[in-house]
């Protein structure tokens, strides 16, 4: 399972939420991201080690069975879409995907373990990097152009809102691990510069493919996810990882400010929820949580548990835990983060609200 930095969650994820006005006037989403917004792509990658295909993933979503989301319920992208009346886009690797489905529901390209850099997360064996996700999106634009014609297709994609939400894996599952070349090739400053150089190229490609209204979500306090705490000698947040997240956020914001005036009809915005997530972790009771330093789904004292499994023990009340597993936030935390981003971006409804998950979160019978 993908050792993904949950708090990056926060920022969801390059949660590439692309809000589009389809030819029938209905809004859809195109999502680019990592495990914080993956809704099933990795479950269809035969060789990947980053999957959410075992209980108790998905326990508080729909029928309660694993669905590819790396949490107990909804992702931040799900919640933002629901709040603005957008349909939940199926995973790109869903076999039911075709042009009609895309026009009706959009596509989710997010992949657990994916990063801005191609080399990130290689020990997962298979994952879709941002470059790969953009390549798949390019194929989508070509398919829609064949179906609608160039003029209608251009209008379809240029009316979209794109969100890019990756970056945490580039640190947690690359730079901060000595097994990766990047960890000894760069220092903290030059690695962030390398990420920005790569991200700039990716954003330019997206603009060329039609992206005009684009949002990049920043990172959260990566050093405070349960995995990072348990790997420290004190059980406290790891300061270096948090400082890297702040450096990434500052650089990404500056990049968007620099790019926007240079590109035709571009509206590039940055979403930063670092402060509110940091406050939730430091003052959980203020937000209705009782635990912000350990996972709800774990193997008890066996830490870190690399994934949630049927042998895991669940916390007594899943709504009171900030983190679902060692890396990812819970449905309740995702809801708080989504609301913060909705407020910062001024999202408003664009259609009829999507139905809530069929299964509501309830206290677990186990403790």
The dihedrals phi and psi of 260, each to the nearest 5 degrees, come to -50, -50
DSSP β-bridge partners for residue 314: 297
DSSP string, 283-310: -GGGGT-SEEEEESEEBTTB---SS--T
Place of tokens 């989710």: 108
The CA distance from 52 to 71, in Å, is 8
Cβ–Cβ < 8 Å for 71, 324: yes
The CA distance from 339 to 83, in Å, is 9
Which residue in 26, 118, 29, 120 sits closest to 75, CA to CA?
29
Burial label for 266, CB within 10 Å (0-12, 13-18, 19+), is middle
Q: Which residues are catalytic?
A: 35, 325, 328
Positive or negative CA dihedral for 204, 207, 209, 213?
positive
Enumerate helices (H) and strands (E) in the chain, giving the number of each.
12, 10
Residue ranges with strand state E in the chain:
20-21, 27-33, 106-108, 161-165, 213-217, 267-271, 291-295, 297-298, 313-314, 321-323
Cβ–Cβ < 8 Å for 337, 10: yes
The CA distance from 218 to 8, in Å, is 8
Cβ–Cβ < 8 Å for 10, 219: yes
Contacts of 231 (CB under 8 A, 6+ apart): 238, 304
């Amino acid at each position: 399972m993908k050792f993904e930095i949950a708090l990056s969650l926060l920022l969801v994820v390059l949660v590439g939420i692309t809000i589009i006005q389809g030819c029938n006037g209905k809004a859809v989403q195109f999502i680019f991201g990592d495990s914080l917004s993956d809704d099933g792509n990795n479950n269809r990658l035969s060789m990947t080690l980053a999957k959410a295909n075992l209980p108790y993933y998905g326990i508080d979503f729909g029928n309660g069975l694993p669905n590819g989301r790396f949490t107990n319920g909804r992702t931040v992208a799900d919640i933002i879409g629901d709040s603005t009346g957008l349909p939940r886009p199926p995973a790109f690797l869903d076999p039911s995907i075709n042009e009609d489905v895309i026009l009706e529901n959009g596509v989710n390209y997010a992949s657990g373990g994916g990063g801005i850099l191609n080399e990130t997360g290689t020990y997962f064996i298979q994952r879709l990097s941002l470059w790969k996700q953009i390549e798949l999106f390019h194929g989508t634009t070509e398919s829609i152009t064949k179906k609608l014609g160039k003029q209608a297709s251009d209008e379809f994609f240029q009316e979209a809102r794109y969100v890019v939400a990756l970056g945490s894996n580039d640190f947690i599952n690359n730079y901060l691990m000595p097994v990766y070349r990047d960890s000894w090739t760069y220092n903290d400053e030059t690695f962030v510069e390398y990420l920005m150089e790569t991200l700039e190229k990716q954003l330019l490609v997206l603009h060329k493919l039609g992206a005009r209204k684009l949002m990049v979500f920043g990172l959260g306090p990566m050093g405070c996810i349960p995995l990072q705490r348990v790997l420290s000698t004190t059980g406290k947040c790891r300061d270096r990882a948090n400082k890297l997240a702040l450096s990434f956020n500052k650089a990404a914001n500056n990049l968007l400010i620099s790019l926007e005036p240079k590109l035709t009809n571009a509206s590039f915005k940055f979403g930063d929820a670092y402060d509110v997530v940091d406050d939730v972790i430091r003052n959980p009771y203020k937000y209705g949580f009782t635990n912000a330093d350990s996972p709800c789904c774990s193997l008890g004292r066996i830490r870190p548990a690399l994934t949630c499994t049927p042998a895991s023990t669940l916390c007594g009340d899943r709504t009171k835990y900030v983190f679902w597993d060692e890396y990812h936030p819970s449905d309740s935390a995702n809801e708080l983060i989504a609301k913060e981003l909705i407020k910062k971006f001024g999202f408003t409804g664009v259609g009829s609200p999507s139905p809530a998950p069929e299964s509501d979160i309830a206290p677990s019978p186990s403790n």
